[in-house]
Homo-oligomer: A and B are copies of this chain.
Amino acid sequence: MTNPRADRVRDVAKLVGRPGRLKRRQFLAEGPQAVREALRAHNDCLAAGGTAVVEALYATVECLKKYPELLEAAPGSRLQVRIASEMVLAAMTDTVSPQGVVAVCNFVDVPLAEVIAAKPKLIAMLCRVQDPGNAGTVLRAADAAGADAVIFSHSSVDIYNPKAVRSTAGSIFHLPIVLGAELPEVVEAVKAAGIGILAADGYGQLNLDLLQDESAARSFDQEIPDAMYDLAEPTMWLFGNEAQGLAGEEKALADHRVAVPVYGAAESLNLGTAATVCLYASARAQRRLH
């Protein structure tokens, strides 16, 4: 493919915008890392009797020479790699340099019930997060911390936005995501499943380091007389909008409001930083005791 104005190229390019994505229920994964993870998810999904993740794959000859594993993954995945020029790939995406490969992927989000049925131990829920980079960064951090799912509230940024997908560095294909969720419904389902709910809140009454110290003490069989919350328990963390944090009514739905301590003069932590510290605190506690 060498004509950047071909109908097929225009069709792919429509996935850069939200209306195009919603219409086809497809999105774009760009670059060797994201595409490799997409193909892995695709093969795993087909092997488990599921549906296709990757619908089409476009790459330059140079990219396939440099990353031959993309060619190796494709046959098993019943996919044909279509060779395209740099100009065609640039026309398909919103990046100056799409790194030579683009995959058209089917939406990968799942219903909330599917997440709950899998008995999750660690969930991150993002409420009204607006920046695609932040959303992707938190998804990637949740993946690294071994979270079982990430839930995005109703009025959050679209995680299928190309910038958000890039920020996940492939993590969008690693763990279940739920989109457009209503917080009260999520809280009801999560509580019914016996999962505790912690709101990350700079003004929270509980200090995350206190909870971590209590968790460490438990692992040395120390008595915790007035334990506030056991981080080793199945937990859903709530994270709020990057500018305003969680709203009062959102915090009220949590069991506790927990602050990441600020030791220096910083007014607050940014969203990705705070979410990382919270999720890793739970991940460590859950792995130490069980």
Interface residues of A (CB under 8 A from B): 33, 137, 140-147, 169-171, 174-175, 209, 212-213, 216-217, 219-220, 222, 260, 262-270, 272-273, 276-277, 280, 283-284, 287-288
Are A137 and B270 in contact, with the CB atoms below 8 A?
yes
* A284: chain B residues within 8 A (beta carbon): 209, 212
Are A264 and B144 in contact, with the CB atoms below 8 A?
yes
Beyond known contacts A144-B273, A263-B283: 16 more, CB 8 A cutoff: A141-B269, A141-B270, A143-B265, A144-B260, A146-B264, A169-B266, A170-B266, A171-B265, A171-B266, A174-B265, A175-B265, A209-B287, A216-B219, A217-B220, A276-B277, A277-B277
- Given A213-B288, A276-B277, A277-B277, A267 contacting B33 (CB threshold 8 A): yes
Are A145 and B264 in contact, with the CB atoms below 8 A?
yes
Which residue of chain B is the closest to A146 with respect to CB atoms?
B263
What's the Cα separation between A268 and B140 when bound, in Å?
9
Question: Which of A147, A209, A270: most chain B Cβ within 10 A?
Answer: A270
What's the Cα separation between A277 and B174 when bound, in Å?
21
Are A264 and B174 in contact, with the CB atoms below 8 A?
yes
The distance from the CB of A170 to the nearest CB of chain B, in whole angstroms, is: 7
What's the Cα separation between A213 and B267 when bound, in Å?
29
* A142: chain B residues within 8 A (beta carbon): 264
Are A169 and B264 in contact, with the CB atoms below 8 A?
no
* A171: chain B residues within 8 A (beta carbon): 264-266
What's the Cα separation between A270 and B168 when bound, in Å?
9
Which residue of chain B is the closest to A137 with respect to CB atoms?
B270
Are B213 and A144 in contact, with the CB atoms below 8 A?
no
17 A/B residue pairs, CB under 8 Å, sorted by A: A137-B270, A137-B272, A140-B273, A141-B273, A144-B262, A144-B263, A144-B273, A145-B264, A147-B264, A169-B268, A169-B270, A174-B264, A174-B266, A175-B264, A213-B216, A273-B273, A277-B280
The 6 closest A-B pairs by CB, nearest first: A146-B263, A216-B216, A174-B265, A143-B266, A144-B266, A143-B264
The distance from the CB of A136 to the nearest CB of chain B, in whole angstroms, is: 9
* A212: chain B residues within 8 A (beta carbon): 284
Which residue of chain B is the closest to A222 with respect to CB atoms?
B220
What's the Cα separation between A51 and B216 when bound, in Å?
46
What's the Cα separation between A283 and B268 when bound, in Å?
16
The distance from the CB of A33 to the nearest CB of chain B, in whole angstroms, is: 7
What's the Cα separation between A216 and B217 when bound, in Å?
8
Which residue of chain B is the closest to A212 with respect to CB atoms?
B284
Question: Which of A169, A220, A262, A263: most chain B Cβ within 10 A?
Answer: A263
What's the Cα separation between A175 and B171 when bound, in Å?
34
* A280: chain B residues within 8 A (beta carbon): 277
